[in-house]
Structure 1
Amino acid sequence: MWRGKADTPTLAQRSAVAPAIEIRSASRQFGKRLALEGITLEVQRGERFGIVGADGSGKTTLLQMICAILDPSKGSVVVAGLDSAHNAASIHASLGYVPQSYSLYGDLTVAENLAFFSSIRKVPATAFAMRREALLRFSGLGPFLDRPAKSLSGGMQKKLAVCCSLVHEPDTLILDEPTLGVDPISRRELWTMLAEFHASGKTIVFATSYMDEAARCDRVAVLAGGRLLACQPPERYGPDFEAAVKELLGAGAETPELPALPSLEASGEAIRVTALSRRFGNFTAVDDISFSVARGEIFGLLGPNGSGKSTTIKMLTGILPPSEGRVEVAGLDVAARPAAVKGRIGYMSQRFSLYTDLTVDENIEFFGSAYGLMTAVLADRRAWVLQLAGLGGYERKLVKALSGALRQRLALGCAVLHHPAVLFLDEPTSGVDPVARDAFWRLIAQLSRAGTAVLVTTHYIREAERCDRVAFIDRGRLLVADSPAALRNRFGNVELEDVFIKLMTERK
């Protein structure tokens, strides 16, 4: 598809020709906020170049400057010999760009999306016919041509977005968090696609919060606070690449210890699910699942996109009624006493459920009143949440002005403001950097030790290792539930991600 495989040149050989991207002393300012400051780097032709950094570090801004979507406030960005400030249209035509928000048209089918992007890229009909077949074979999307993009799983949407960005055969592909919210199988499939593209001599530049993805790169740039901290091959960072990057990003910062928590009952069941099902018309989203979670236990629910994880949580929290089965949470029947259950649980959704046009204080006050906390109690809990989330000094800041990591901790604080017996977390660390992810999980562990049961969904297998037990779910069916160590042993002492892949592929 990519005009034949090329012998992959070394980094030194690539450096002998003109770079694919040259950035010189580039800064970008939004009003009074300096998003990027004095960035200087080059990306060689045929290089696989990764960018990592904390939320708000400037990764997306840098990618958008490379794509000539944003002009630098100072300095220059040159792509394929073209200055971005003067040749934006030519740069747009020469690149493939996959933003975090996909840029797909949800009401169009897979075939229609491909045809649309081919037309705006002015790809000749005969060339498009050949490329379309290659892209469909390349991505595995052939059987889904007539399916609307909005009906695809998250992983399939990402693969379609990549296909749409490759339909004009660009020399350089730019991706912003390409595997955000994608399950491990889809993540592997996506990287197989990208590896084939790269093997033909094409250039790939991507931002990621997954250190194992960054470790595959020829070089990795580390950003913090809009500045470039380092840019070198992964092996130059040290024997433990992830640990070295975390140290650069400030992993030494202490996570605030939780203030004293009320004593919660330490034994017995916090959640009991019996023969639970949920149907939407003829589609069965959750199919006859049963499990229990002990008080103080961290229980992980893992599965591919569309496996039924979020639907299960919505039934456990009383947001959705079950079609069949019974759910007991904190000793209460959820269907019979939904209002009473809501006072005993905390829920943090994928979108964090915060009000971005309100301040930190106003969000705390809103959630406190929603949980029925009296004024005097709420004043104490407000201080507790600010300490929990490390938000002292941010009380009057609008939530939309906070970094992703601070929003995440505020959302957690609001979810546990009323000291719930059970906490539900639906992909709580999606898209946050590894430092923020570690800090968040230290908070979760502290809540668990205080007696709160935690049920968490995640696509990040390393997070599953932090759970006391994990359950794998696929197409609404619960396949297995056990401790991470027991599951690894059961499947031949393999990694937990390999357990996931084996379980899911065996059901295909």
Structure 2
Amino acid sequence: MPDSSPLLSLNNITVRYLNHTLFTNLSFHINKGEHWALVGESGSGKTSLLQTIAGKNNVVGGSIQHYYYQEYLRQNPLHGEVFTHHNLIAEVSQKHNFRNLSSNASEFYYQQRYHASDSEDAPTVESYLSAIEAPEVPQAYWNYDRAISTFKLEGLLDKQLIKLSNGETKRLLLAAAVLKHPLLLLLDNPLTGLDVETRAAFNLILSEITKSGITIVMATSPTELPDTITHVAVLRKGKMVHRLSKGEFTPALVALAPVFLPDQEELQALLSVNNIPAFDTIVQMDDVSIKYGNKLVLDNINWQVKQGEHWALLGHNGAGKTTLLSLISGDNPQSYAKKIILFDRKRGSGETIWDIKKKIGFVSPELYQYFPYNNTCLQVIESGICDTLGLIKQSAPQYAATALRWMHLLEIEQEADKLLKDVSASTQRLCLLARALIKNPPLLILDEPCQGLDQHQQEQFKQLLDAICRNSKTTLVYVTHYQQEIPKCVTKVLRLANGKVVA
């Protein structure tokens, strides 16, 4: 139970980032023994508040008192070391910042995992965890072996970071965070990308973290509050509108805009910009197996997708879904040697990777992770027409106009001229969804497309996707760990487990 002594206090703070005011006169207090969930619609300020606590934003008014740091110094006198409250905070953000071995300044890039020489330049899980620098804590609860066991990383130690699945990466980042021996752990939507089994175990993991003496503040969905959470703060447009115990909280306190059917006339007009050509077979795989070294990732896959079919691709983290999709999208060079037909044509019969990509609209957690930031939101969406990661040539007025129309359908047109790096994570994800939709491709591959979206945005997108599939010959492959995210148009399921088809 909380002992009412203060741990962290934000006192009437005004916070700015670049030329934006994020918070004005905001106050937020955490006592010992309290563990807080931050909830609210997308863009309400949850991530910004976590980043402010972490010291990443400019506090221009008010003050922040780190009482836990002051107490730590009283108990652990330091001798001339440079040691601040930042050393006692650990974060797990929605994006990682992994670096290659050959140059610590070289970030990973999209498709790196499929290129043998470049993927070998990435650290392994074992080397990454072993290199973590942390304050010396006598008889610390968290050590290397306990973190490996708790986060189920035993089978991943020799795996390069670039080859981890989205969920495996999240488990690694949580392990790395506790190995820093923080007193305050900041988690930004930590359940995102975790499969059903891992989410179920997450309650126990968080309880173990808090019992070890770490205070948790996490941004999360209002419908996913871990057992160890004691209090909930509801944010709305940069203001904290409710602060209450978890027992007093109800998800109805998070105000969400109503969901409307998309403008059918406008959608039909956009779908007619590029007519989908007729195909018989969109995807056919015959006895396809993929190995990385001695690791069998896909085992004897047989799958056929006909034009106009709508599939859900399901499976646990590391089941092989991402590798399977890479064989379709053209990103995996091993596809040339396999019995694969794409768009009625055998793979490796003379087509280029661009011949394949122009027929596919694609979004995935990896694309979100590695997409370059130096374009405006409008340019990011327009780049989907030429299948590049960002707009690398001058904008075409007619394409920009089409991009803006898709932004309107996704309710983000007001962000058109902002740089991708300066908008919320949910807006970034919606931009990548619009980028996948803009050319009205024959095949949509949507890998966890609702990650980071609030309930309103998820429902609005599902309505749009159902309307697209209802009014066109679009073929859909949809990946998710959440049953409720699957749109109504989906009628077929391929389920993978450990690289094999199980349903």
Shorter-chain TM range is 0.7 to 0.9
CA drift of 1:422 comes to: 1.7
Q: Distance in 2 between matches of 1:272 and 1:165?
A: 42
Q: Is the 8 A contact 1:21 1:80 kept in 2?
A: yes
In structure 2, the CA distance between the partners of 1:408 and 1:64, relative to structure 1 (3 Å rule), is: closer
Identify which range, 374-383 or 166-175, moves more after superposition.
374-383
The match for 2:79 is none
Render the CA deviation track for 1:309-336: whole Å, top value 9, x for unaligned.
Answer: 122222223333254222333x444543
The match for 1:76 is 63
Tell me the amino acid that sits aligned with residue 257 of structure 2. Answer: A
CA drift of 1:121 comes to: 0.8
- The aligned runs of 1:316-395 (5 Å cut-off) are 316-320=328-332, 321-329=335-343, 331-336=344-349, 337=351, 340-350=355-365, 351-352=367-368, 356-368=373-385, 378=399, 381-382=402-403, 384-395=405-416
Tell me the amino acid that sits aligned with residue 121 of structure 1. Answer: P
The match for 1:196 is 208
The match for 1:463 is 485
Tell me which of 456, 462, 468 is aligned to 1:441: 462
CA drift of 1:97 comes to: 3.6
- Identity of matched residues, %: 24
SS at match of 2:209: helix
The match for 2:315 is 303
Tell me the amino acid that sits aligned with residue 478 of structure 1. Answer: V
Q: Distance in 2 between matches of 1:130 and 1:82?
A: 19
In structure 2, the CA distance between the partners of 1:217 and 1:272, relative to structure 1 (3 Å rule), is: same
| Cα RMSD (Å) | 3.9
Q: Distance in 2 between matches of 1:232 and 1:152?
A: 38
The match for 1:485 is none
In structure 2, the CA distance between the partners of 1:360 and 1:152, relative to structure 1 (3 Å rule), is: closer
Tell me the amino acid that sits aligned with residue 500 of structure 2. Answer: R
CA drift of 1:359 comes to: 3.2
Identify which range, 66-75 or 265-274, moves more after superposition.
265-274
Render the CA deviation track for 1:167-190: whole Å, top value 9, x for unaligned.
Answer: 465444332232333333333334
CA drift of 1:29 comes to: 0.6
CA drift of 1:340 comes to: 4.9
Tell me the amino acid that sits aligned with residue 7 of structure 2. Answer: A
CA drift of 1:138 comes to: 3.4
Q: Distance in 2 between matches of 1:132 and 1:178?
A: 21
In structure 2, the CA distance between the partners of 1:365 and 1:135, relative to structure 1 (3 Å rule), is: closer
Render the CA deviation track for 1:138-196: whole Å, top value 9, x for unaligned.
Answer: 33445655666555554444344334433465444332232333333333334322112
Q: Is the 8 A contact 1:464 1:470 kept in 2?
A: no
In structure 2, the CA distance between the partners of 1:405 and 1:231, relative to structure 1 (3 Å rule), is: same
In structure 2, the CA distance between the partners of 1:375 and 1:472, relative to structure 1 (3 Å rule), is: same
Indicate whether 1:278 and 2:284 are aligned: no
CA drift of 1:18 comes to: 1.0
Q: Distance in 1 between matches of 2:384 and 2:213?
A: 53
Gaps of 5+ in 2: 75-81, 101-121, 389-394
Tell me which of 15, 23, 42 is aligned to 2:10: 23
- The aligned runs of 1:232-251 (5 Å cut-off) are 232-238=244-250, 241=251, 244=252, 247-248=254-255, 250-251=256-257
SS at match of 1:122: coil
Identify which range, 206-215 or 285-294, moves more after superposition.
206-215
Tell me the amino acid that sits aligned with residue 458 of structure 1. Answer: T
Tell me the number of residue pairs that the alignment of Structure 1 and Structure 2 aligns.
Answer: 454
Tell me the amino acid that sits aligned with residue 91 of structure 1. Answer: H
Q: Distance in 1 between matches of 2:215 and 2:249?
A: 22
In structure 2, the CA distance between the partners of 1:309 and 1:369, relative to structure 1 (3 Å rule), is: closer
Identify which range, 90-99 or 301-310, moves more after superposition.
90-99
Indicate whether 1:138 and 2:176 are aligned: no
Tell me which of 421, 427, 436 is aligned to 1:415: 436
Indicate whether 1:453 and 2:475 are aligned: yes
In structure 2, the CA distance between the partners of 1:110 and 1:340, relative to structure 1 (3 Å rule), is: closer
- The aligned runs of 1:148-297 (5 Å cut-off) are 152-167=164-179, 169-199=181-211, 202-209=214-221, 211-213=223-225, 217-238=229-250, 241=251, 244=252, 247-248=254-255, 250-252=256-258, 254=260, 256-258=262-264, 259=266, 260=268, 261-262=271-272, 270-297=282-309
Q: Distance in 1 between matches of 2:460 and 2:46?
A: 21
Q: Is the 8 A contact 1:175 1:206 kept in 2?
A: yes
Gaps of 5+ in 1: 1-8, 481-508
Q: Distance in 2 between matches of 1:23 and 1:192?
A: 29
Tell me the amino acid that sits aligned with residue 414 of structure 1. Answer: R
The match for 2:85 is 91
CA drift of 1:82 comes to: 5.4
SS at match of 1:414: helix
Tell me which of 14, 20, 32 is aligned to 1:45: 32
Q: Is the 8 A contact 2:185 2:215 kept in 1?
A: yes
Q: Distance in 2 between matches of 1:256 and 1:424?
A: 21
Identify which range, 127-136 or 70-79, moves more after superposition.
127-136
CA drift of 1:58 comes to: 2.6
The match for 2:427 is 406
